[in-house]
Amino acid sequence: MREKHLKLKFWGTRGSNPSAAPNMSTYGGETTCVELRTSKNELIIFDMGTGIIRLGNAILKEPNQVKDIHILLSHFHWDHIIGFASFKPVYIKGFNITIYAQKPENGTLKEVFEDMLNNRYWPVPLDKLGAKINFREVHPLLFKINDNITVEARSHPHPGGAFGYRLLVDKRKITFITDIEHPPGEPIESVIELARESDLIIHEGHFSPEDLPKHIGWGHSSWVEAVAVAKASKSKRLIMNHHSPDYEDTQIAILESDAKKEFPNSSFSRSEETVFIPVK
C-alpha cells in the first residue's frame, strides 16, 4: 500500500519584493506562497505573493484539478496578496476559492480585494471573476475548514497586524508564522503555544542576526528567533521563509549553516522545494 503523506511546496520564498537575479535563484525569488496538499488532495495555500502565479499555472495542468481552494492570509501587505490578480483559477468558472484573513482595520475583507482590482489598477473587477470567491473574516480562534482540517489563528506583532496559523490536518500539526517581530531575546509566548509540538513550523527568517537590530519596528525576525520558537515549542522541524530580497544565495547558505548548529532539523526554503510528511 502506498504511504499517505502531506505535501508542502514552496512557490514563494522571498519577502518584501521579488528577486530575479541569478545569484538569488537557489533560495527563490518569488514572494510568499506555500502550497499544502492533504492525503486526500485537499488544497490549502498560505499567502498569495507572486509565487501563487506559478502555483495557479500548475493547478490548471493537473489532470484532476482540485476545484475547492482554501487560502490563509497572514496579512494584507503587497508581497502577500499581489499574486491574486494573476492567479488563473480565479478567472475560471467551477473553482470555489475561500480566503481566510483577519478583519481589516477599515472596511471588510471583500473590500480589500475590490480595492486591489479597482479599474485604476486592474482591468477585471472582483465581481467579473469566473470563480466563486468567498471571504471569511477570522478572529484569534479555532475553526474548521472541514472534518479533516482544523485551524487555529492567532495575531502577532507586525505593522498593521498579522496572523499565524496552526493546522491540524491528517493528525499532523503544521504551523505558519511570517512577518513577526519578537522582543529582543524573548520569543512571544503565544507564538510558542501556537507552534507547540508541530511536525513542521514555517517561520520567517527575513534578516540576519546582524541586520535585525538595524530594522527594529519593521516587523521581522532572524533565524535566531525562529530557532528559539522551534526549540521552546518542541517542534520537530523548522523551515525558514520570507528571505530578505537583498540576500544572495551565498549569504542565505551561511545563515542556514549557522541555524543548523543550533537546531539541526532546520533549513531555509528553496525555490519550489517540496516537503513530504507521512501521516498517521
Q: Which residue ranges form the domains of the chain, and what is each CATH number?
A: 5-278 (3.60.15.10)
Other C-beta atoms lying within 10 Å of the C-beta of residue 103? 12
Alpha helices in 173-222 (DSSP H): 189-194
Mean residue pLDDT of the chain comes to: 96
**pLDDT at res. 141:** 87
Mean predicted confidence (pLDDT) in 190-219? 98
Query: For residue range 223-267, what is the model confidence (pLDDT) as tens digits?
Result: 999 999 999 999 999 999 999 999 999 999 999 999 999 999 999
User: Which segments within 102-171 are labelled E, that is strand?
Assistant: 132-137, 142-146, 149-156, 162-169
Mean predicted confidence (pLDDT) in 33-47? 98
Separation CA 18–CA 72 (nearest Å):
20
Mean predicted confidence (pLDDT) in 207-230? 98
Task: Please answer whether residues 157 and 220 qualify as being in contact, where contact means their C-beta atoms are separated by less than 8 angstroms.
Answer: no
**pLDDT at res. 1:** 46
**pLDDT at res. 2:** 62
Contacts of 44 (CB under 8 A, 6+ apart): 35, 36, 37, 38, 70, 71, 72, 145, 149, 167, 169
- pLDDT at residue 280 tops 90: no
pTM, two decimal places: 0.96
